[in-house]
Homo-oligomer: A and B are copies of this chain.
Amino acid sequence: MHLSVAVAKVDKWAVRQGGDTLEMIERPQGGVSLVLADGQSSGPGAKSISIWVVRKVVTELADGVRDGAAARAANDALYALRGGKVSATLAILSVDLEARALVITRCGDPPVFVRTANGDLRELTSSAPTLGFHRHARPDVDILPLKPGLVACAFTDGLVHAGSRTGRTLDVPATIEALWVASPTAQGLADGLLARAVGLDNGHPTDDTSIAVLHVLPGEGDGPRYMRAEMPVPDY
């Protein structure tokens, strides 16, 4: 099989730093994890929370800790550090080669959609509380067998709120389906969702928006790996 990952991200208009953090890491026993956190509010305060949460989760995953336990550790440590006063939503999309599974872990109900090889698109709902508010938290964990055709898409709520200033909203499932049919690639879906969201805000995003897409394809089990990143360098 082959794995294709795409991430697209934009900060709130006229804000120097967004409140989202998204990192991709290689898992110690093989596979990758995409860790996405959205800190409460926006700006530097939100960024410091989300970067802290992602770093905690990434460190745990790199130690071989399972995704659900890594999310609990981040919750407990954030609660201990800030006394339940700050919070973040968390989504982890992992291709776990030991378990031969796609593992999806959530706290605080971040939007996550899964599309199966036969074309069923569903949103994963979550009752797990936002990270950092409670002494005890149990993340929602879904485990899906790794199969060609599987697509997972996670994003922060900037995508859901796009257009709210102008009275328009994005029909997320319909947009995912339309984009996927037009261009069934991780990159096409991530970049397409971001472009639609930014378009609804007339090019001036009302919130930080991060989108991560993971696509399992048929293909050779070995060969080179590639990664590319493109980003603006602020002129301040």
Contacts and interface: CB of A to CB of B under 8 A. Distances in A.
What copy number does this chain have within its complex? Answer: 2
B8 A231 contact: no
A232 B97 CA distance: 11
A230 B9 CA distance: 18
A167 interface: no
A48 to B, nearest CB: 8
Contacts of A187: 228
Contact of A231 (B21, B225, B228): B225
B229 A226 contact: yes
A159 interface: no
A6 B232 contact: no
A229 B233 contact: no
Contacts of A221: 232-236
Contacts of A24: 24, 227, 229
Given A5-B228, A227-B7, A228-B227, A222 B198 contact: no
A181 B231 CA distance: 23
Contacts of A31: 233
A234 B3 contact: no
A23 B21 contact: no
A231 B236 CA distance: 36
A230 B234 contact: no
Contact of A3 (B95, B227, B230, B236): B230
Nearest to A14: B222
23 contacts: A3-B229, A4-B229, A4-B230, A5-B231, A6-B226, A6-B227, A6-B229, A7-B227, A8-B225, A9-B224, A17-B30, A21-B26, A23-B26, A24-B227, A28-B51, A32-B229, A95-B233, A97-B234, A216-B233, A219-B232, A221-B235, A225-B231, A227-B230
A-B interface, 4 closest residue pairs, ranked by CB to CB distance from nearest: A221-B235, A1-B233, A7-B227, A225-B231
Interface of A: 1-11, 17, 21, 23-26, 28, 30-32, 48, 51, 55, 58-59, 62-63, 95, 97, 146, 186-187, 190-191, 194, 198, 216, 219-236
